[in-house]
Chains A and B, each alone.
Chain A
């Protein structure tokens, strides 16, 4: 199993540009989520999904969109990039129940200039 994969590893955007961060998992996990990591703030939940076609907002959803058309994929779209979105983005997946640990992808380091 590849686990959770994310592309790209690094990205530089100009303010106002849009892009999609890709996330895929091959463990048949129902639950997938996106977090951003900023210095001193731990990881904060952006959006999550409990299955194909079902998504919901996390703690910091503004400026991001998600969709989940398949169990495997959960892309994160930045609609109009802002410098405040400079961060490291992690995708995670797990079985749905909260007892299960989440498996994290390797992260995408995004810089918005």
Chain B
């Protein structure tokens, strides 16, 4: 069975501080995909990044960066110089290999981390 753990339920920072969100996952698949989604106060889910299990390169997109470490089964997310607009709930999710008629697209989500950025 797959499992995603986001141990931090809520993080509060002051604007311009950096914030790192932890994500630890469990899977028996050798091929899998990891995702981060953002859920702002308006409620929609916004895709941020996808990473496959064979690509351990870190990735940076503007103020966002991701650190994937297969050895520790972690896929952490850092927001640099946080802004009030970053206030949201962030979800880490995992999908695995398709088996039979079952889709590999089935996502297992972590419980989410609420980030509050104060001005």
Contact = CB atoms under 8 A, between A and B. Distances in A.
Interface of A: 31, 33, 35, 40-45, 48, 50, 54, 56, 58, 88, 90, 92, 94, 96-104, 106-107
A106 B43 contact: yes
A39 to B, nearest CB: 9
Contacts of A56: 101-103
The 6 closest A-B pairs by CB, nearest first: A98-B104, A42-B109, A104-B45, A98-B95, A101-B47, A43-B109
30 contacts: A31-B103, A33-B105, A33-B106, A33-B107, A40-B9, A40-B112, A41-B111, A42-B4, A42-B6, A43-B107, A44-B109, A48-B103, A50-B101, A56-B101, A56-B103, A58-B106, A92-B45, A96-B103, A96-B105, A97-B104, A98-B32, A98-B95, A98-B96, A99-B33, A99-B50, A102-B105, A103-B47, A104-B45, A106-B43, A107-B44
Interface string B1-37: 0001010010000000000000000000000110101
Q: What's the dominant secondary structure at chain A's contact region?
A: strand
A71 B74 CA distance: 35
Contact of B103 (A44, A50, A90): A50
Given A42-B91, A43-B91, A90-B45, A100 B111 contact: no
B117 to A, nearest CB: 21
